[in-house]
Structure 1
């Protein structure tokens, strides 16, 4: 309960008007951006990615272990995707903690709730204003990361085509649209973490755990994604949307996992925000010793989110036919053959050989895991594949060997193991000089969901 007094004049009591949400929102936004740490974070998000992408793009050694990192010398659109991969793992959870995880707890530390309530006269409007202000700052930070990294890549390398995860070439305009869409999809899990930050800031009061909650939740979800979990569990966690954007860079796009990840993230964001609101409007602001909701934080905060996870796991399991890890021998072979066929055409163009189509190549792959001594499914670095293809007018079938390292999210790195003329060396000699060999080492993506 909040105790307020109504001024009385000679003509009767004066009715105090509540402050409009728009004014409260502007006030909270000014409070946020006036903090030196928020200003530094905004400045870093709008400058650091451009410097990083431009600097790395000028180096001879690239972060080839990062998705799209091996293409940073070839196109400016690879840079923002490298930054997006890093942001989903580290930057965005930290940013949501700094902004949303402290927006309510700071009032507890400073003891300013009574002054704010007297000024605004509505806990509901305070909650809405603070939530909108933190959302605005988070959107500004994400926009800075995306725009800065794209600008750095385009200035340093240029507006060149981008090689997708299935080896096909994306025109600059198509690449730009998919990069933008990937960043927009990453907003959904960012909002989920921001809502968890709001919930922790409301429920835990002055405790530093509220500030760390989005980071801890993000870390737990990253660990879960590395475990051999069933597909339904993996897709039902909001953190999956941070990696599901990979499916945008195949043809056709692998949209089902991405849409599920975005929907789950938005459901988490809505529920966590509603729980934070429920705790906030029921708070006793007359108690100056208040230090979190204690047991209520578990019953109102943790249990509903756990129930939502159980429901989404069940819904995804029913809606999708895939079982187990989703990484099966047939899908691995199909994905590898598709990537190889596209990249073989790219190598043919580099070497100025007669053009050939995927239909003419009739590429196929035969893959085994652990030399056939284990179940032929699941993640691991023990996949060995033999790729075969045919050239028009050539009777001999071409073959190449690849060692595959497949992660639990379906991404794989194929490392060429001969013959030397095809994939045995990282450079190919062209008429204009040595160029990176697209068939030496490349990335691919296995769709975890069955498409038939």
Structure 2
């Protein structure tokens, strides 16, 4: 009779539900001391960094929006976003998603987990959701901490966009939120690659390092003068293309393509990880992953996706080559100059002038006219011309431009000194460098010029 009762209980036993498995896996992940330290660092370190920068006499002007960190608190989360996309987020996804399955291999607890949950599929879902939750918590910490630190330390002032126009605090807040939301897509792609590496490579440290190595490879590729289609087809491009949110009109084409590509990579890598997980042998306690299976069922499909994405983007987008074209450069420089000239006029308490009255134009060449005016490089030179109401003489200013392959440029004033030289102007938050001395800009790599 006792045997019959035991048999009945065994017969009605069902797999543990996904919510229960998710809570269990989340507790396991958060209980690790390194995860707790990461959460603490992400919610505290950015604010401390902002406070430290506010006490310095020099700013991280080589970082996008770094030159405005003492002018507005909204620059701080954007500086942190640039750092996070390059270093922090790839490392965080490696430490969380890249280890969520491998930890069971190291501890030899797969058989115990399978007996308790009784469903490999639900184990995968629970672990994937738990790692995603922790990653979102870390990203939220970076964003919130840097924003609060900037607003408390510097204040809620307008933000200068990448075309020189002023964004009201409310607009700046909305754009900052959108920028952080946009980088979730490439973060998900790296997290999915981490899941794939953790499943396919087992206890091998390569599974843990895979997201960081993939991110590093994509960063190196973005530094090369690649065609636009190849650049947009890389899943990490959304870590860069959020810059387009801070121009008027917003450069949403590259951003939307980057988000779509990242989400496709995230879906495919997750599906591959799931299929590999369901096929693995849990009875082998010394399992260290299958290198052959990792290549055939992991690397090759992702390489095929990259090739297909490049082909699709090449057909779908109108741009060819580097995407940095003379007409676009001239338009961007002239627009930024006109907006910043108005800002300088206001700071110097001169009579107000509008962009329409200035009629600013720019004539740009590369290599002193000896090279084709296209592509990245630090040998761009622009002469900006403008007009003032009631003044017959046309004003002119010279800028030296340094272009990176992703379309961002830094314009350095080269005279006349009273226009774009270095001098301090008084602002509501204290003395600041002349806004026309140096400024950042961004060109749209997609050719949006109307044909005909």
Give TM-score scaled by structure 2 length: 0.97
Q: Deviations over 1:179-214 (max 9, x none)?
A: 000000010000000000000000001100000000
Q: Following the alignment from structure 2 to structure 1, what is the Cα–Cα distance between the partners of residues 27 and 5?
A: 38
**Range 16-25 or range 78-87, more displaced:** 16-25
Match of 1:101 among 98, 102, 127: 98
Q: Structure 2 vs 1, CA of residues 206 and 424 (structure 1 numbering), >3 Å: closer, same or farther?
A: same
Structure 2 Cα separation of the partners of residues 312 and 432 of structure 1: 47
Aligned equivalent of 1:213, options 205, 210, 213: 210
User: Is residue 391 of structure 1 aligned with residue 396 of structure 2?
Assistant: no
SS in structure 2 opposite 1:343? helix
Aligned length: 446
Unaligned residue ranges in structure 1 (runs of 5+): 1-6
* 1:121–1:315 distance in 2 versus 1, CA, 3 Å: same
> How far apart are residue 431 of structure 1 and its match?
11
Change (3 A) 1:8 1:29: farther
Find the residue that maps to 2:183 and give its secondary structure. helix
Supply the distance in 1 between the matched residues of 2:6 and 2:300 (Cα, whole angstroms): 53
The equivalent residue for 1:161 is 158
2:52 paired residue number: 55
Match of 1:298 in 2: 295
The answer to whether the 8 A contact 1:58-1:73 is kept is: no
Aligned partner of 2:4 among 9, 29, 36? 9
> Structure 2 vs 1, CA of residues 431 and 62 (structure 1 numbering), >3 Å: closer, same or farther?
closer
Tell me, in whole angstroms, the C-alpha distance in 2 between the residues paired with 1:245 and 1:218.
17
Moved more, 132-141 or 289-298: 289-298
Alignment match, 2:335: 338
Change (3 A) 1:162 1:281: same
* Residue equivalent to 1:4: none
1:40 aligns with 2:37: yes
Q: Say which SS state the counterpart of residue 372 (structure 1) adopts.
A: coil
Match of 1:81 in 2: 78
Would the alpha carbon gap of residues 287 and 50 (structure 1) be closer, same or farther in structure 2, given more than 3 Å must change?
A: same
1:284 shift after superposition = 1.2
| Displacement after TM superposition at 1:289 (Å) | 2.2
Specify whether residues 148 and 434 from structure 1 end up closer, same or farther in structure 2 by C-alpha distance, changes over 3 A only.
closer
Counterpart for residue 316 of structure 2: 319
Change (3 A) 1:8 1:132: farther
| Partner residue of 1:130 out of 118, 127, 130 | 127
1:448 and 2:433 correspond: no
- Indicate conservation of the 8 Å contact 2:421/2:434, yes or no: no
Separation in 2, partners of 1:249, 1:66: 15
Aligned partners of 1:180 and 1:164: how far apart in 2? Answer: 15
For the aligned residues, what is the CA RMSD? 1.4
Change (3 A) 1:8 1:379: farther
Residue 11 of structure 1, CA deviation: 7.3
Instruction: Return the alpha-carbon distance in structure 1 between the equivalents of residues 262 and 38 of structure 2.
Output: 24
The within-5 A match list for 1:246-285 is 246-285=243-282
Task: Give the C-alpha shift of residue 80 in structure 1.
Answer: 0.3
- For 2:30 and 2:426, the matched residues in 1 are separated by 54
Q: Deviations over 1:271-309 (max 9, x none)?
A: 000000000001111122221022111111011101111
**Structure-2 separation of matches of 1:431 and 1:338:** 24
Q: 1:95 aligns to what SS in structure 2? A: helix
Q: TM-score, normalising length from structure 1?
A: 0.97
Q: Assess if the C-alpha contact under 8 Å between 1:351 and 1:431 holds in 2.
A: no
CA distance in 1, matches of 2:66, 2:48: 16
CA contact (8 A) 1:76 1:156 kept: yes
Provide the rounded CA distance (Å) in 2 between the counterparts of 1:431 and 1:198: 49
Q: 5+ unaligned residues in a row in structure 2: which ranges?
A: none
Are 1:152 and 2:159 an aligned pair? no
In structure 1, what is the equivalent of residue 373 of structure 2? Answer: 376
Instruction: Give the counterpart of 2:410 among 388, 408, 413.
Output: 413
Aligned-residue offset at 1:101: 0.2
426-435 vs 343-352, which moves further: 426-435
